[in-house]
Amino acid sequence: MTDSVLAAPSIFSGAASLQQILFFVVYLVIFVVCAWALVDCATRQQRAFPTAGKRTKGFWLLITGVATVVAFLAVPLGVISNSIFQFLAWAGLVGALVYFVDVRPAVRPYSKRRGGRGGGGSSRGGW
């Protein structure tokens, strides 16, 4: 009977470590999404934002930059958990998602493409 009582804490500690791993992965994904939004915003041309009818590039760099910093601080490392940064990371994620869903598609046609497709006489071909 003492064996089953001693085994119970190890089951809970395993579940706790699994939960910590899941939290780490979730906040790491939030950080990556926010950083991706920041890098994408930084590579767009400044004139594309007002031309597309969106706020300025500086505004979106501020939103995605703050979101990235907060998301980085929210990644739980070791003992640090349940901080205000973890709550704010979700707000940062919302800002990054607004950029991806609303702003990025609007400014994309006004941004120059680097290399890749396009050019003088090339046709789209295919469908």
CA 85 to chain centre: 14
Alpha-carbon 90 to chain mean position: 10
- CA–CA separation, 29 and 88 (whole Å): 14
Per-domain boundaries in the chain: 28-109
Percent of the chain with pLDDT over 90: 55
Q: 4: which 2 tokens?
A: 């089953």
Q: Residue 121: pLDDT band by 50, 70, 90 thresholds?
A: very low
Q: If you average pLDDT over every residue of the chain, what do you get?
A: 81
**Residue range 36-54, pLDDT digits in tens:** 999 999 999 999 999 999 9
- State pLDDT tens for residues 19-33: 888 888 999 999 999
Do the beta carbons of residue 61 and residue 41 sit within 8 Å? yes
Q: 54: closest CA among 114, 91, 112, 105?
A: 105
